Amino acid sequence: MNQDELKRLVGQAAADYVQQNVASGAVIGVGTGSTANCFIDALAAIKDRYRGAVSSSEASTARLRAHGIAVLDLNEVDNLPVYVDGADEIDAQGHMIKGGGGALTREKIVASIAREFVCVVDASKLVPVLGAFPLPVEVIPMAQAAVTRALAAQGGAPALRRTADGKPYLTDNGNVILDWSGLQIEDPVALETRVNQIPGVVTVGLFAQRGADICLMGTPQGVQRATYRA
């Protein structure tokens, strides 16, 4: 199977997991990106079981609504039984790099109130050490230069993310993203804490303090499941 087929396979597996483990009438947390899109497409077949979804991006909101799935504001929801999202990298402890699609802050907010984080990836995303994928850092625009210097002082090479026409990429929140390359992240929890303390940083795309509880990984042999937290 190619990568797109693996993503569809794991997206369907996530929808099956939700159907088997989440009571009807619940609200489902939904992430952003190509694998999350496959989950949204599969979720559409069982949408009548659930009250709706909370979305982590404008793009996912549009896809959910196109399937006739109600999208609720997070402020209207007391709790989420599950949050399903992809990752750019995941390690053997369930720590992740996320934010390649630019939705890291909203993803982290939604994940923070979910009882269970189900990560959906293809096997190429499993790594022994995080950092080959550039680490996204969402930054308030006026702090771009200051944060760039602060990150560079710790090693690696932070660079402003740009659109295809060369303009600064802006998140749904109106902020910029620095993609921090050249890292080997031996202690993801410590780095997440340290970067989040830099003035001007909105959040860093390390999901280590609140990592995945379960990973559903698409492989040529089928979907493999890893559990990190009881």
Annotated binding residues for substrate, as ranges?
32-35, 85-88, 98-101, 125
Q: Quick check: is 107 catalytic?
A: yes
- Could you tell me which residues are beta bridge partners of residue 19? none
Sign of CA dihedral 99, 101, 102, 103: negative
Task: Output the known binding site.
Answer: 32-35, 85-88, 98-101, 125
What are the C-alpha distances in Å from 141 to residues 45, 174, 200? 41, 8, 8
Q: Catalytic pick from 58, 76, 107, 186?
A: 107
Q: 130 φ, ψ to 5°?
A: -70, 150
What are the C-alpha distances in Å from 13 to residues 31, 33, 134, 185? 15, 16, 28, 30
- Could you tell me which residues are beta bridge partners of residue 55? 30
Catalytic (active-site) positions:
107
